[in-house]
Amino acid sequence: MLKTLLLALLLATALWGCGKKGPPLPPESNIPAAVSDLRAWPREGTVFFGWSIPTRNVDGSKLQDLLGFKVFRLDRSLISQDCPECPRNFKMVAEVDIDYPRTARIEGGRVLWADPTVKPQTEYTYFVMGYNSYQSPSPESNRVKVFWNEAPPVPEEVMVRSENQALEITWRSAPPKGQEPSPTVFNLYRRSEGERFGFLPLNPEPLKETRFVDGGLQNGRKYSYEVRAVRNFQGTLIESPASAVVEGIPDKKIPPSPPRGLLAVYQEGGVALRWDENPEPDVAGYDVYRRAEDEETFRKMTPGLIREPHFLDPSADPRKSYTYRLKAVDSSPTPKESDFSQDADVSPLPVKP
């Protein structure tokens, strides 16, 4: 049945090409529009293909009876003595049923299919054709050419270093196999907690360096990374398998600066403290410390952070002298404290006669 259908498709193509009319289609049948965005991504020792599912027929009407796609491939060895100009035929290598895609994946109006049968030192050319419930084939899609060879070695010693709202990822290029040239570029992939690695790399262009700083991240959130080496083989970028997955959590390393301008004065109700607001935008608040004249160490007076740059200490005894100091605390997942501010002393109120 499949051979008969393919023969019919080829016969119909030949008839169209020579200007002859083929057998009439049922009046309610329309021809699906051609796929126009077929793309290829070599990864993990195979080649992945993606294309959008057409929503219209050739005549512009709505496509309502699309059943699937057929994938065609033309092979040419790069090491044989065959004539490059000799005629060759495309062969159907896959069929993707819309309802039961099996070896393909359909999501978001796109089809993702992989060809694991590619062999080294071979040139491949692909196109796809859709078909409807009457087995009417669409026109050919755009053609995609792939030059395939062995994948490069997997990168080694991948490490992550935490920075404020950023992670630095470093790795080492693995030694080449035999006489193969060492890969010079890389692709980096990232996933957040609860997500999977994206199909496309984090970097828009292959990386020449073995270091990448991923900025604009959320402090305290875990991110995972994998690196793939990339080899350019006659214009096709062939990726290695993925490196070991590494994880990192961005975190601020530098604490806030010490608060400045602390003043302390007795007033009705206790000792009033005021200071300058810290310039850092991520300061979550302040801790207030106090030492009485008869105490050796400071103790924290505030059970929680003071959000505003002022504080009233109602527990101060107006007959005693006190020394106050502050610490600023940031909003990092692991909060960072500043050094102490300069001290502010307050003397006892004069005794009324």
Together in a domain, 38 and 134: yes
Together in a domain, 53 and 107: yes
Q: Which of 87, 115, 148 is the last residue of a domain?
A: 148
Residue 163 belongs to some domain of the structure: yes
pLDDT, tens only, 59-75: 999 999 999 999 999 99
Domain containing 323 equals 263-346
pLDDT at 353: 58
Mean pLDDT per 10-residue segment, the chain (353 residues):
33 36 51 95 88 94 94 91 67 94 91 93 96 93 94 93 93 76 82 88 93 92 95 90 94 90 93 96 95 94 94 93 96 89 90 61
pLDDT at 254: 87
Closest CA to 308 of 282, 285, 336: 285
Together in a domain, 315 and 211: no
Together in a domain, 273 and 307: yes
pLDDT at 348: 86
Together in a domain, 65 and 140: yes
Together in a domain, 7 and 142: yes
Instruction: Report d(CA 284, CA 183) in Å as an integer.
Output: 47
Residue 257 belongs to some domain of the structure: no
Torsion angle of the four alpha carbons 178, 181, 182, 183, in this order, in degrees rounded to the nearest 10: -130
Residue 253 belongs to some domain of the structure: no
Q: Which of 148, 174, 201 is the last residue of a domain?
A: 148
Residue 255 belongs to some domain of the structure: no
CATH number at residue 302: 2.60.40.10
Together in a domain, 163 and 196: yes
> Residue 326: what residue type?
L
Residue 324 belongs to some domain of the structure: yes
Q: Which of 124, 148, 172 is the last residue of a domain?
A: 148
- Residue whose tokens read 């970028």: 237
Angle (CA) 287-290-291 rounded to 5° is 155
Residue 83 belongs to some domain of the structure: yes
Contact present, 270 and 316 (Cβ < 8 Å): yes
Residue 236 belongs to some domain of the structure: yes
Closest CA to 188 of 179, 197, 176: 197
Contact present, 54 and 35 (Cβ < 8 Å): yes
Together in a domain, 200 and 314: no
Together in a domain, 123 and 87: yes
pLDDT at 349: 74
Together in a domain, 225 and 313: no
Question: Structural domain tally of the chain?
Answer: 3
Residue 289 belongs to some domain of the structure: yes
Closest CA to 110 of 157, 71, 54, 180: 54
Contact present, 44 and 105 (Cβ < 8 Å): no
Instruction: Report d(CA 9, CA 6) in Å as an integer.
Output: 5
Together in a domain, 132 and 205: no
Together in a domain, 38 and 137: yes
